[in-house]
Structures are given as C-alpha cells and as structure tokens.
Amino acid sequence: MIVVSHRGPYSFSRGDDGNLTAHRGAGGLVSALGPLLSAEVDATWIAAAISDDDRSAVRAGTTGDLDVNLRLLDLDRAQHRMHYDVIANGVLWFLHHGIFDRTRRPRFDLRFRDAWDAFVAVNQCFTDAVLETAAPGEVVLVQDYQLTLVAGQLRAQRPDLRVVHFTHTPFAGPDDFSLLPTDVGADLCGALASGPAGFHTKRWAEAYRQSARATLGRRAAVASPFVASLGPDVAALEAVAASADARAAAGHLDDAVGDRLVIARTDRIDPSKNIVRGFLAFDRLLEARPGLRGRVVLVAMVYPSRQGLAEYLAYENEVEQVVARVNDRWATRDWLPILLDDRDDFARSVAGMQRYDVLLVNALRDGLNLVAKEGPVVNRRDGVLCLSPETGAYDELKSAAIAVHPYDLEQCAGALDDAVSMPLDERALRATKLRALATMRSPADWLSDLINHAGK
C-alpha cells in the first residue's frame, strides 16, 4: 500500500550538534494513519520535503531510519511555492471553504496561469514517485486537495493500480466551483471523477457530485463518491493526556483560571475557523449577562498558520486586536476574560480539552473538524459542545451538541449562555452521548473504508 499526501508523518530539524532529528508531524491525517502504517511492513508514505532540513534529510538518506517507509520529494522550490501557496491554499482552500471576498477575489491572471502550471507539475512529481514505487495492482491512497490531480494521472498511466482519492476539506458546490476557469475546473473534476473519491460527509460528497456534473456535462462518466468519516485515535489521545507535558500544561491552566467556568477553543488561525466572530459572540455574552463577568474565561488555544499568505497574516492581526478590545472592555484586577495562547502545542490543547466546561467550534465551513470529536473524548467535566452545522462533524454529533450559527453573533452568544447555565444532569447525559457518538468511528475503520473502495 502507498499513501500519498503533501505533508508527511515526519519533519526534520537540525540540532545544536548539527545532526538531523525526525519529529512526528502534526495534523489529523498523521495522527490517524501514522500508528496504523507503522505496523504495515509493505506500506510506503510519499510526501513533500517542506523545510530546508527536510531536504537535507532527503539528500543525506536520513528518511530511511523511521518506523514508516517514508519517501520525501525534494521538489523545485519555486514550483512548490506556487503549487502550495498560490493554488492549493490561495485558491482551492478559499474556494472549498467559501471564504472568497468575491468583490475582490479571485482574479485569474497570467500569474495564476503560471501557478496552475506549477500545480500540475508538482502533482505529476507525486505521480511519478508512485509510478517508480508501485508494484502491479498496488493500493494507492491519495490524500486531499493539494494533490487533486494525482489520482487521475495515475489511472491514465497505470490502470492496474487501485487508486482512491480522499478529500479532507469540504467541496465547493456548483455555484462556488463555477468561479474557477473552465479548463481548471474540468481538470480537477475530471481527475476525481475517473475513480473512487471519498469525503467525510454526504454533504461534501453530494456537492462534489453536483459540481462534477455541472462542470463535465451530464453525460460524463462520474464515479459515485463515497463517505468515510474519520474518528479520533482514543488511545493516542489518552496517552497524550497522561503525559508529563499535558499534566504541566493542565497545572498552568488551573493556576490561570482557578475555579471559573472555561469556554475553550483550539484552532489554527485560519479565516475559515471563524475565531474573531467567536470572540465577538463572547463579548456579547458578557454584555448581556453581567452575572457571568468574572466567573467565565474563554481559553483560546490558537496558533499561526500559512504565514506566507497576506490574508492569514491580516487575520492573525485581527484576532489579536479583538482579544485586546474585549479584554480592555471587561477585564478586572483579578480576571482576564480571554486567555490567548498562540503556541502550536498539542499537549497544551489536550490539557485545555480536558478542562473545558464548554467547547466552541464555530467554523464557517469544515470538512470534518476532528477537535469536535477529540474534545468529548478527553474532557473530564461533562463539557458541552457548541458546534457549527457547517462542520462535517455536526452530521454525527448534532443530537448531543448545541448548534451555533457561524455568522449570527446573537444566536452564538445565546448558545454559549445555554451551555454555561445547563443543569448538571443534562450536561452529564449530553457528555455521555457525545463520547459515544465521537468514538463510533476509529482511524482503522476509516482506513479500511478507503482500502475497500480502492478495490472498486
């Protein structure tokens, strides 16, 4: 079996002694697949060398000393930057999450065309790596929107391979997808339509099917998409929760919040995560409910992301400004309403998920949002989940969560009010149900679904 993804299960860094050291990568895909593939002797993981130290590891042959058979691709830097920053993150991420400011963006010009050529070329580099590695009839699992073209390229060049593509993001419906240049949309949909394409929910699978039909024509052959939701790795989460790092983080958090109620969130600082509106809804809650002032703290464990994009830098600045305004408005001598922690520290996030009374996930749109499942698994206070219906996880968890409208600040503030004031017996019932729903699917279930569909 071969797994193909943009970011791999390990990254490398050079220590003070000059030696390269491998570190387990971040992200839901790595945490889900890493432990499963380490036991697969015949599994290979193909990914991009992201950093200079990753490239040095490729050239030094260091990637062979891991528990996963890892092949990192030393891509042309200029092409890779255009592939990743301009097309994957600057266009496709915004498209599938519905976050373009349409009066200004997108604009498809000569720079876009150069970047699109680079996107095609980088996808072909991944395809070539698979072709060099794959045995006849091998299963190939291609992951996510950065590599949308790979499955189609592989099927055209090696029809013997059993290839499946899985998209972890939402998929744009026809109205949004039509923003793309006609040929680009046809290339993307054509690659996916050539074989099995998977999504976390029926909603995204149906959006893809409709976009493919609208783009390729009603008579085009479009393979039926499948749905395979990803669940959390419970054992791995519990191991992190029991670690010294998580215990230390929990102690620091207890010192900071005392016996106050905690509303928590943990996200990348990404416009699609809707962090600013969450802070504004909390501000409205404090305004409407004076009795909560001094009694509740919003613990925001958020960390910078994609700082090569101007929109992300601007959003990070906006996050900091809104936190400052809310704290300036309501803080007292011994109470800070919002605690902002911008470290990328998973042990800290797990400690925060253990401690929350309310978990806020108000994303504008999300393929799944694994945090909405991980939180109920490790929480120790019968915490309430306030969850946006625009997340893929909502389809599975809605019967035990409180819905929060991602754009309606008044409704979100009311939902937070309902959550913090919920009677203890109802909290306990909801929390028990949430844990059961969140753990109905395991990473092994998800992987098995992909392998089964690869054979179709």
CATH of 234-438, one of 3.40.50.150, 3.30.70.100, 3.20.20.100, 3.40.50.2000: 3.40.50.2000
Q: What's residue 55's pLDDT?
A: 84
pLDDT bin (cut points 50, 70, 90) of residue 215 is very high
SS3 28: helix
Is the pLDDT score of 5 beyond 90?
A: yes
CATH of 2-230+445-454, one of 2.30.30.100, 1.10.10.10, 3.40.50.2000, 3.40.640.10: 3.40.50.2000
Q: What is the pLDDT of residues 335-392, one digit of tens each?
A: 999 999 988 888 999 999 999 999 999 999 999 999 999 999 999 999 999 999 999 9
Q: What's residue 344's pLDDT?
A: 81
Is the pLDDT score of 265 beyond 60?
A: yes
pLDDT bin (cut points 50, 70, 90) of residue 307 is confident
Structure token digits, residue 41: 């002797």
Structure token digits, residue 421: 């004031």
Structure token digits, residue 307: 């700082």
Q: What's residue 10's pLDDT?
A: 79
Q: What is the pLDDT of residues 406-446, one digit of tens each?
A: 999 999 999 999 999 999 999 999 999 999 999 999 999 99
Rounded to the nearest 10 degrees, how much is the dihedral formed by the CA atoms of 331, 333, 338, 343?
140
Q: What is the pLDDT of residues 138-193, one digit of tens each?
A: 999 999 999 999 999 999 999 999 999 999 999 999 999 999 999 999 999 999 99
pLDDT bin (cut points 50, 70, 90) of residue 28 is low
Helix (H) or strand (E) holding 20: strand 20-24
Is the pLDDT score of 402 beyond 80?
A: yes
Q: Which residues 6+ apart lie within 8 Å of 194 measured at CB?
A: 151, 152, 155, 156, 223
Is the pLDDT score of 65 beyond 70?
A: no
Q: What's residue 379's pLDDT?
A: 97
Q: What's residue 38's pLDDT?
A: 67
* Number of Cβ atoms within 10 Å of the Cβ of 107: 7
Is the pLDDT score of 304 beyond 90?
A: no
What residue ranges of the chain are covered by domains with CATH 3.40.50.2000?
2-230+445-454, 234-438
Is the pTM for the entire model greater than 0.85?
yes
Q: To the nearest whole number, what is the mean pLDDT of the chain?
A: 93
At 208, give phi and psi (nearest 5°): -60, -45
Given a contact cutoff of 8 angstroms between Cβ atoms, the answer to whether 359 and 353 are in contact is yes
